[in-house]
Amino acid sequence: MMFGNIMYLRPGNLWKSFRVLKMHVDNVDGYAKNSYEDTGTIVDGILAQATSNERELTKHLWDQKLHSLTHTLVVSGRCDLKKSDILAYEEKAYLVLAVDNAGDLGVAGVAYLEERNDLK
């Protein structure tokens, strides 16, 4: 059969490049002011919408029954992201909720994300 070795890819499930923005805290009149600065770092990964099963399996990360997990990002190699980083792709922004470096082998990582409309 001719099509036996061809993998089917749905549109939108290919590698995407995300800009990494890190939180920066300034002291303004004695108050802490948080802002995000572009680090110039690019993370390439495959973005997928989180399913209810993934939400159920990862609820131990937050020690609560409900949380705001909306997407997962699979990264090839070590995932050097931290909680509260922002990943920007086109007009969308994703807040990093947690990062799992699968097996701590540096082969792949999974970032658990929340899509945010208030951060750009």
Here the CATH number for the domain that contains residue 23 is 2.40.10.270
**Higher pLDDT among residues 100 and 120, named by residue:** 100
Global model pTM greater than 0.85? no
- Within a domain: 30: yes
- Within a domain: 42: yes
Give the C-alpha separation, 74 to 96, whole Å: 13
43, 98, 46, 23 alpha-carbon torsion, rounded to 10°: -30
Of 93, 83, 101, residue with least CA distance to 38: 93
- Within a domain: 4: no
At 67, which amino acid appears? H
What is the span of the domain harbouring residue 21?
15-116
**Total domain count for the chain?**
1
- pLDDT tens-digit series, residues 59-74: 656 555 556 788 889 9
- Within a domain: 68: yes
- Within a domain: 21: yes
Give the C-alpha separation, 49 to 71, whole Å: 4
- Within a domain: 1: no
Question: Containing H/E element for 55?
Answer: helix 52-57
